[in-house]
Amino acid sequence: MTSPGSKPQAALRGRQADSARRRARVAAAISTAAAAGQEISVSSIARAAAVDRTFLYRHHDLLEQVHAAQAPSAGTGPAVSSASLQADLLNAQQRAARLAARVQQLERRLSSLLGEHAWRESGLGAPDDIDELKQQNTTLEQRIIDLRLQLDQRDQDLAAARAASRELMAQLNTTAATENAAGQKPHVLRDNHPDMIR
């Protein structure tokens, strides 16, 4: 019979192996793009490696590799437009909103499961079959562990999305300052925008 702790350990090992495969794909994508002289950005590398941009923001060493690969071609690559930066910012905000809603859903589910578990532990309305009660408790404990792992992952995704939003905001402001200095009409997204992530 499988012990209660074996499934979370197997899930953790699977998550670590998946993360290692993604990291390898990102490193290969950076090398390929640099060798081919292609445009290097967080979006292009994430797309080439088939990972989400938030994965790069969660792994700062990979993000630094992307930025380092951008440096040699910074003066020759195509200019980033305000429109593209605003689109990236909007996508990051929408993803952050979805992640926040998912986190709240998981928190409510976890609260419900913990309440149900406490109710069963109190002996109120417990079934006559003690073995059935033990099995239900084991199932609930496993579910709680899984939910906590998911909640931690969502928190990391939300933090990464917020970091991406802040970085895009800084790029937008820099682009707006450059356009203003050149006499163009700046596209400034102010900090008090109602959709801005704090």
Task: Please give the Cα distance from 44 to 33 (Å, whole number).
Answer: 9
If you count them, how many residues does the chain have?
198
Q: For residue range 12-48, what is the model confidence (pLDDT) as tens digits?
A: 888 888 888 999 999 999 989 888 888 888 888 989 8
Cα(85)–Cα(91) distance, integer angstroms: 10
Contacts of 23 (CB under 8 A, 6+ apart): 59, 62
Residue-wise pLDDT for 58-101, tens only, equals: 888 888 888 888 865 444 445 556 777 888 888 899 999 999 99
Answer yes or no: is pLDDT of 198 > 50: no
Query: Read out DSSP for 136-157?
Result: HHHHHHHHHHHHHHHHHHHHHH
Give the Cα separation of 41 and 32 in Å (integer): 13
pLDDT at 24: 92
CATH architecture of 81-198: Orthogonal Bundle (1.10)
pLDDT at 196: 46
Cβ-in-10-Å burial (0-12, 13-18, 19+) of 26 comes to buried
Q: Where are the beta strands (DSSP E) in the chain?
A: none
Tokens read off for 138: 């084991």
Question: pTM surpassing 0.85?
Answer: no
Residue 148 tokens, joined:
């906590």
Q: What is the DSSP string of 19-55?
A: HHHHHHHHHHHHHHHHHHT----HHHHHHHHT--HHH
Segment 150-172, tens digit of pLDDT: 888 888 888 888 888 888 888 88
**Predicted pLDDT of residue 81:** 67
The sign of the CA dihedral 100, 101, 103, 108 is positive
Domain boundaries, the chain: 1-78, 81-198
Task: Read off the pLDDT of residues 108-126 as tens digits, 9 standing for 90 and up.
Answer: 999 888 887 777 777 665 5
What angle do the packed helices 42-49 and 60-70 form, to 10 degrees? 120
Q: Report which secondary-structure segment, H or E, holds 57.
A: helix 53-58
Q: What is the pLDDT of residue 102?
A: 92
Question: Rounded to an integer, what distance in angstroms lies between the CA atom of residue 197 and that of residue 40?
Answer: 26
Please provide the distance, in angstroms rounded to a whole number, between the alpha carbons at the two ends of the chain: 47
* pLDDT for 195 beyond 70: no
